[in-house]
Each structure stands twice: as C-alpha cells, then as structure tokens.
C-alpha cells in the first residue's frame, strides 16, 4: 500500500499525540495520589487544622499536575495544528516530540507529589510553620518541574522549527533519538528532585529554624540531580541541530537512534541516585544544622560518583554521534 | 513563529574568517551592566547610619550573599570571593528578570553568556584549589582512587561546566520559548502575564541562586 506524505505525517502526529498524553498522564496521577494519601494521614493526626491541610494538599496537587498539563498542550498541538511544509522529516519530528513529552512528564509528576505530601504531613505536626512549609513546597516542586520543562522545550522545537531540506535518511533517526534522549533522561531527574524536595519539607517541619540551610541544600541537591537531564538536553540539541550528510546505509541512522537511547536510559539511574543522595543530606541537615557543611560536601562527592555513569552514557552517545 | 531558534547576528569577515557577534545579547548585557551600576550608585550614595530604603536593599543583598559565602568557604576565603559571588548573583538576577520588560531579552537566553560564566567559575575554582593545596596535591586528586581513573575524572570536571551552564540556559531559554508559543496560540490573551511571572521572576530568581550557589560550592570543593 502506498502512503502519501501527508497521510504519514498525520499518522505520526496522532501517534505522537497519543504517546504524549498517555505516558504524560502516568506520573502526575501517582504524585497527586501520594500527596492525598499523606494529607489523609495528616488530617487523622491533627483533625483541628484539616482546613489548612486541605488547602495545602490542593496547592501541592495543582503544581504536581503541571507536568501532565505540559503533555496535554503538546498532545493538543499535535492533534490540531496545520503544518505548511509537508516533508517526511516532520513525521519523525512529531513522533520524537510525542515520545519526548510523554516520557519527560513521568518523573516530574511522580517527584513533585513528594513535597506536597510531606508538607501536608509537616503542617499537621508543626502547624505554626505552615507558611514556611507551603513556600518551601512550592519552590521544591517548581524546581522538580525543570526536567518536564526541558522535555516540553525539546518537543516544541521539534514541532515548530522548520528544518528545511535536511536529508531524510539519517535525520529522521536524529529527531526520534533527540526525543528519546531528553524524554527518558528526564524521568530519573524529576523523580530524584522530588525525593530531595520531600525530605526538605519533612526537615523544615522538624526544625523550622533551619529553613535557610535546608532550602539551600535542597536547591543544590536538586540542581545536581538534574544534571543527567541536562546531559539529555545537550545530546538532543546536538541531534537536532547538527547537519548529517545523507547516507543510504542503515548503520548511520541506527547509531543516532542508539545515541538517543543510550543517553536517555543512562540518565534515569543517576537522576534517581543523585536524588537519594540529596534526600539523605537534606533530611540530616534538618536534624544537625551545625554540620550542614560536612553533609553538603559528602552529598556532592557522593553525587559526583553516582553521576559518573551518566557521564559514561554521554561519552558513548557523543561517540555514536560524531565518530560512528 | 519564525523567531524560534533564530538569532540577530552581525557577521564581520576578517581575513577570510567570519567573526560572528550576537548583537542583541551584547546590547542586553550592557543594559544589565548599566542597571547594576545605577543601582550600586544609588545604594551607596549618601550613606547613613539610618539607611534609606535603597541603601537597606543593597545592604540586605550584600550581607545575605556574604553570609552564604562565609558558610561555605570560611571567613578568610569569603573576604576574597564574596564580592565576586555578589556580583555574579546580581548580574544573573537582573539578566533573568530583564525578559519581563517588553522588547528586552534575557542575556542568559544565549548559551554564550552562560557558558562564559560557567567557564569563569570553573577557572576560578581550580585556581583557588591550586593556590590552597599546591600544584602537586591538586594534580594528585585526578588520579584518585586509581591512576587509570584520570580521564574519567577529567571528563567529570568538564561535565560540571556543561551542567552548570546548560541548566541556566535551558531554564531561561525554555521559559521564553514556552511563553512565545503560548502567546502565539492564545493570541497574547490572558495567559502570558502569569507565565512571565512564573518563568521570569520565580524560575529566574531560583536559577540565579542555584548558579551562584553551585559556583560557591565548586570553589569550596576544590579548596578543601
């Protein structure tokens, strides 16, 4: 059966849209459920302030929802936009955009449920620190969204940038690879950032006067646990904007696809691991504020070591792009 | 939508090579410099024991950042590096906020700015490390835990530059792309002001702080 170019593009856009929203719905729902579960626990511990807890829960869930709202935006764009330049490359770009946004929303959605839940629980234990907890939760879960925002940016670039007449054969793989690299790498970082933010809310509820050092270490820890997703962003930028010479061999596109998969999967573990390191540091800083410097140093060294696997993945995918 | 991923560049051919200058970014950077100098002049003008609001603001910023640096580096080194950290934070904060004003763009939206600042922080951190530990002990660190880990340690150090500069660049550029696309889709109705508030003010502040904190942390890891 022969397919027209426009039909292929339509197929790709619909598939991408389905993937984006289907996968994008996974993470945020889990995160919000966790927040609600912790809020129930909090209300049963301290029913007198159930109003405050309820409000805090709703705010936390609204922030956690934003990852899947990004996915919804991308899905709607893919469904309803009309595109002027019909070339087969656009089909690959749409598929890449859908994959990128779908996977990218998972981690941030799950992760930003943690600060919401922990801050609800913290309010029940330490009601007078309520406003500090809500502020910290907002900062923590907004920073958790960074990997999802990166994924959305890559998806929007794949959708809107006119790549002109780049050769079809290796470039389609580059676009799909770019989406996979960013989307998969965002999973671990989003989840890890959530772990750190959750621990910081718990810590502030325990020691409200330690709020400055806890928030600072949370931000540094989250920033470092986002590094794998930044490597994913770097690889997908290279895949999008490097011009590849036309080739009829199958090896070249597979190398580009492999580069995207390598960086994507390679970023999941380090993101979660770095988040765990940050979680530990933040949790213990709240209990032992005087030694926050030592704790931060141990956290950073530990994160640097667990990050090395992401660096191996990046080296291999750069070799796949530039050498093979 | 044609603006996406396009830059205004001045290309000067010199002896067969093209020198490319991102005009817009340079102008915006100079605007940030001018704002900072004006703010500094106002804050330090007619200093009094009873500070006027703007002097109080200046003192607040400087003392907060001095405290942060002192916590991480100790009193002695903080004297040396705190001015740098203050300047870095103020520059990044104003740069990230500049995009809220119509027709102005964030200089940090360009990778050249953030990469430059990242390389600067990296060089300063390593200079501080060599100075405090001595060259031999500094080189020795690369051969930890075993000698053949050297290339990987080296790549790990270089990856720090990539991560710190791409973090800021990705956040700011991502925010501006999302604002551009949403404004285009909603015909500039209703949503963009909230997005400017979130991406410009909120994310801008957090990312400026994170960049500054990471620079301090890199210095402190090298020194100790």
> Does residue A321 belong to the interface with chain B, where contact is any CB pair within 8 Å?
no
pLDDT of residue A87: 79
Whole domain around residue B50: which residue ranges? 9-223
The owner of tokens 């619909």 is A14
Q: Are B180 and B195 in contact (CB under 8 A)?
A: no
Q: How many Cβ atoms are within 10 Å of B123's Cβ, its own excluded?
A: 11
Q: Which residues of A touch B2 (CB under 8 A)?
A: 162
As for how many domains chain B has, the answer is 1
Q: What is the pLDDT of residues A248-289, one digit of tens each?
A: 888 888 999 999 999 999 999 999 999 999 999 999 998 888
The CA angle B199-A99-A183, to the nearest 5 degrees, is: 55
- Scanning the structure block, which residue is given the tokens 């929303």? A105
Cβ-based neighbour number of residue A100 at 10 Å: 37
Q: What number of other Cβ atoms are within 10 A of residue B34's Cβ?
A: 10
Per DSSP, helices labelled H in chain A are: 5-45, 50-80, 88-111, 113-125, 130-144, 146-160, 168-206, 211-225, 227-241, 251-287, 292-322
Inter-residue contact B116 to B88 (CB < 8 Å): no
Q: Between B4, B174, B210, which is nearest A149 by CB?
A: B174
The alpha carbon dihedral of B202, B206, B209, B211 has a sign of negative
Q: Tell me the C-alpha distance between B219 and B163, whole Å.
A: 16
pLDDT band at B36 (very low <50, low <70, confident <90, very high): very high
- Please answer yes or no on whether A156 and B71 come within 8 Å at the CB atom: no
Name the residue of chain A whose CA is nearest to B4's CA. A161
- How far is Cα A226 from Cα A109, in angstroms, rounded to an integer? 15
Residue A161: list chain B partners with CB under 8 A.
4-5
Q: Which chain B residues are Cβ-neighbours of A149 within 8 angstroms?
A: 171, 174-175, 178
Can you give the pLDDT at residue B1?
54
Q: Is there a contact between B22 and B95 (Cβ–Cβ < 8 Å)?
A: no
In a domain, B2, yes or no: no
Q: What average pLDDT does range A162-176 have in this prediction? A: 84
The full DSSP string for A139-159 is HHHHHHTHHHHHHHHHHHHHH
Q: Determine the angle formed by the axes of helices A130-144 and A146-160, rounding to 10 degrees.
A: 40
Q: Is residue B53 part of a domain?
A: yes
Residue B56 located in a structural domain: yes
Place of tokens 């899947």: A68
- CA dist A77 and B181 (Å) reads 10
Q: Residue B74 CB: number of other CB atoms within 10 A?
A: 14
Q: How many CB atoms lie within 10 A of CB B179?
A: 19
pLDDT over threshold 80, residue B2: no
Contact A153 B162 (CB under 8 A): no
Average pLDDT taken over every residue of chain A: 90
Chain A closest-CA separation from residue B145 CA (Å): 11
Inter-axis angle of helices A50-80 and A5-45, nearest 10? 180
Chain B CB contacts of A223 below 8 Å: 167, 210, 213-214
- Chain B 88-117, CB below 8 Å of chain A: which residues? none
Q: Looking at the domain assignment, is residue B94 inside a domain?
A: yes
Please tell me the distance from the alpha carbon of residue A34 to that of residue A206, in angstroms, as a whole number: 20
Chain segment B192-209, per-residue pLDDT in tens: 788 888 888 988 999 999
Chain B residues lying within 8 Å of A314, measured CB to CB = 159
β-pair partners for B164: none
Report d(CA A298, CA A300) in Å as an integer.
6
Give the gap in angstroms from C-alpha A171 to the nearest C-alpha of chain B: 18
Report the pLDDT averaged over residues A193-200: 94
CA distances in angstroms from A239 to A117, A172, A176, listed in the order given = 38, 10, 9
Query: Does residue B23 belong to any structural domain of this protein?
Result: yes
Share of residues in chain B with pLDDT > 90 (%) = 25
Q: What structural domains does chain A harbor?
A: 5-322 (1.20.120.610)
Q: What is the pLDDT of residues B114-132, one digit of tens each?
A: 999 999 999 999 999 998 8
Task: Provide the pLDDT confidence category of residue A290 given band limits of 50, 70 and 90.
Answer: confident
Contacts with A285 from chain B: Cβ below 8 Å: none
Helix (H, G, I), strand (E, B) or coil at A264: helix
- Tell whether B68 is within 8 A of chain A (Cβ): yes
How big is the A-B interface in CB pairs under 8 Å? 95
> B-contacting residues of A 30-59, CB under 8 Å?
none
**Distance (Å, rounded) from C-alpha B153 to C-alpha B147?**
10
Task: Convert chain B into a string of H (helix), E (strand) and C (coil).
Answer: CCCCCCCCEEEEEECCEEEEEEHHHHHHHHHHHHHHHHHHHHHHCCCCCCCCHHHHHHHHHHHHHHHHHHHHHCHHHHHHHHHHHHHHHHHHHHHHHHCCCCCCCCHHHCHHHHHHHHHHHHHHHHHHHHHHHCHHHHHHHHCCCCHHHHHHHHHHHHHHHHHHHHHHHHHHHHHHHHHHHHHHHCCCCCHHHHHHHHHHHHHHHHHHHHHHHHHHHHHHHHHC
Q: What is the pLDDT of residues B171-185, one digit of tens each?
A: 998 888 888 888 888
Give a yes or no: residue B3 inside a domain.
Answer: no
Task: Inform me whether the pLDDT recorded for A101 exceeds 70.
Answer: yes
Buried b (16+ CB within 10 A) or exposed e, A4-41: eeeebbeebbebbbebbbebbbbbbbbbbebbbebbee
| pLDDT band of B21, cuts 50, 70, 90 | confident
> Do the domain assignments include residue B4?
no
pLDDT tens, B146-162? 777 788 788 888 888 98
Q: What chain B residue is nearest to A304 in terms of C-alpha separation? A: B156
Q: What is the pLDDT of residue A2?
A: 67
Q: In chain A, whose CA is at the least distance from the CA of B213?
A: A220
With beta carbons less than 8 A apart as the criterion, state whether B215 and B121 touch. Answer: yes
Residue B174 lies in a domain: yes
């Amino acid at each position: 059966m022969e397919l027209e170019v426009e039909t292929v593009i339509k197929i790709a856009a619909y598939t991408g849209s389905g993937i984006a929203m289907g996968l994008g719905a996974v993470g945020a729902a889990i995160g919000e459920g966790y927040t609600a579960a912790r809020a129930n626990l909090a209300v049963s511990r301290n029913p007198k302030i159930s109003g405050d807890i309820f409000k805090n829960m709703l705010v936390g869930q609204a922030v956690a929802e934003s990852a899947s709202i990004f996915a919804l935006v991308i899905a709607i764009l893919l469904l309803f936009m009309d595109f002027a330049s019909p070339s087969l490359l656009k089909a690959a770009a749409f598929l890449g955009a859908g994959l990128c946004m779908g996977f990218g929303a998972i981690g941030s959605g799950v992760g930003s449920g943690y600060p919401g839940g922990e801050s609800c629980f913290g309010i029940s234990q330490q009601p007078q620190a309520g406003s500090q907890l809500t502020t910290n939760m907002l900062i923590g879960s907004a920073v958790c969204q960074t990997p999802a925002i990166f994924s959305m940016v890559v998806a929007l670039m794949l959708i809107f940038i006119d790549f002109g007449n780049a050769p079809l054969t290796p470039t389609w793989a580059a676009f799909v690879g770019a989406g996979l690299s960013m989307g998969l790498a965002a999973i671990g970082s989003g989840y890890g950032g959530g772990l750190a933010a959750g621990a910081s809310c718990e810590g502030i509820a325990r020691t409200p006067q330690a709020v400055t050092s806890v928030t600072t270490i949370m931000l540094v820890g989250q920033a470092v646990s986002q590094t794998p997703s930044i490597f994913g962003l770097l690889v997908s930028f290279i895949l999008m904007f490097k011009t590849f010479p036309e080739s009829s061999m199958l090896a070249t596109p597979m190398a580009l696809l492999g580069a995207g998969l390598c960086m994507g999967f390679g970023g999941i573990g380090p993101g979660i691991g770095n988040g765990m390191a940050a979680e530990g540091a933040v949790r213990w800083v709240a209990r032992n504020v005087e030694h926050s410097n030592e704790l931060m140093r141990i956290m950073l060294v530990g994160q640097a070591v667990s990050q090395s696997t992401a660096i191996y993945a990046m080296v291999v995918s750069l070799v796949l792009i530039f050498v093979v | 939508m044609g603006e996406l991923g396009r830059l205004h560049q001045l290309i000067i051919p010199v002896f067969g090579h093209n020198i490319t200058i991102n005009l817009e970014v340079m102008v915006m950077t100079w605007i940030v410099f001018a704002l900072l100098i004006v703010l500094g002049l106002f804050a330090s003008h007619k200093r009094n024991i009873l500070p006027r609001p703007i002097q109080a603001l200046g003192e607040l910023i400087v003392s907060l950042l001095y405290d942060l640096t002192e916590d991480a580096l100790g009193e002695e080194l903080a004297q040396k590096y705190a001015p740098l950290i203050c300047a870095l934070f103020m520059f990044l904060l104003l740069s990230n906020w500049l995009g809220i004003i119509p027709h102005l763009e964030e200089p940090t939206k360009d990778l050249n700015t953030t990469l430059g600042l990242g390389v600067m922080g990296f060089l300063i951190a390593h200079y501080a490390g060599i100075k405090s530990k001595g060259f031999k002990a500094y080189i020795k660190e690369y051969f930890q835990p075993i000698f053949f880990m050297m290339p990987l340690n080296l790549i790990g150090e270089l990856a720090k530059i990539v991560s710190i500069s791409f973090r800021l660049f990705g956040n700011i550029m991502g925010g501006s792309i999302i604002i551009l696309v949403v404004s285009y889709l909603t015909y500039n109705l209703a949503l963009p002001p909230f997005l400017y508030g979130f991406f410009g003010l909120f994310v801008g502040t957090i990312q400026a702080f994170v960049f500054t904190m990471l620079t301090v942390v890199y210095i402190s890891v090298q020194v100790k």
